[in-house]
């Protein structure tokens, strides 16, 4: 059987980062649907880019229109969704991009595996738990998912009728005490700034 061969890049990460003044990392934002993950992610990216830092959001919903269009919402498909997004995040971080990933990622094992992919190659990985209480998430219900579960129109919503394993030791816990979007973004912006001067 054919086995893939690893080709060592001609241009090293250090060369690329130094040449273009980059410092890549991944910021992985986990939490319930409606917790504010995407809102914080997109505002953080906007402020980073405005400040001159190359940043991109890997929106999990958007990736389900392309890269992960073949995946459903079974536990196995959710695991594969996280694995693929984690690999892409690591590739972009290696390139030098601050990669922000708002994704429910309900299983601790999957998040730990993504962290390990980054740490094996010396890439910074910041895990953020958007810990907005589920009652508040259900009140916001931006996609109408909680209503659909209540009305019996769908099943499999993480934290309601599907598992969600909260991080045991995330780098940041945000949203649990009613912090504003600006407060959440400020905390993460400062973390990126500190990591970039190391």
Active-site amino acid positions: 105
DSSP state of 44: H
First to last CA, the chain: 44
How far, in Å, CA of 54 to CA of 21, rounded? 10
Cα separation, 57 vs 137, whole angstroms: 21
* DSSP strands (E only) in 16-168: 25-31, 55-57, 98-102, 124-130
Lookup result for tokens 């694995």: 83
């Amino acid at each position: 059987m054919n086995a893939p061969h690893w080709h060592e890049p001609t241009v090293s990460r250090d060369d690329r980062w130094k040449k273009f003044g980059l410092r890549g990392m991944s910021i992985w934002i986990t939490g319930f649907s409606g917790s504010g993950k995407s809102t914080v992610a997109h505002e953080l990216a906007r402020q980073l880019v405005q400040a001159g830092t190359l940043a991109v959001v890997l929106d999990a919903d958007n990736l389900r229109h392309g890269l992960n269009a073949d995946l459903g919402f079974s536990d196995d498909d959710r695991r594969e969704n996280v694995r693929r997004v984690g690999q892409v995040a690591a590739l972009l971080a290696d390139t030098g991009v601050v990669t922000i990933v708002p994704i429910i990622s309900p299983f601790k094992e999957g998040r730990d595996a993504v962290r390990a992919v980054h740490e094996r190659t010396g890439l910074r990985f910041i895990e953020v738990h958007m810990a907005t209480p589920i009652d508040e998430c259900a009140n916001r219900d931006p996609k109408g998912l909680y209503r659909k579960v209540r009305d019996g129109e769908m099943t499999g919503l993480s934290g309601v009728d599907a598992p969600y394993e909260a991080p045991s030791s995330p780098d940041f816990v945000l949203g649990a005490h009613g912090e504003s979007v600006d407060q959440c973004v400020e905390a993460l912006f400062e973390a990126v700034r500190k990591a970039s001067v190391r």
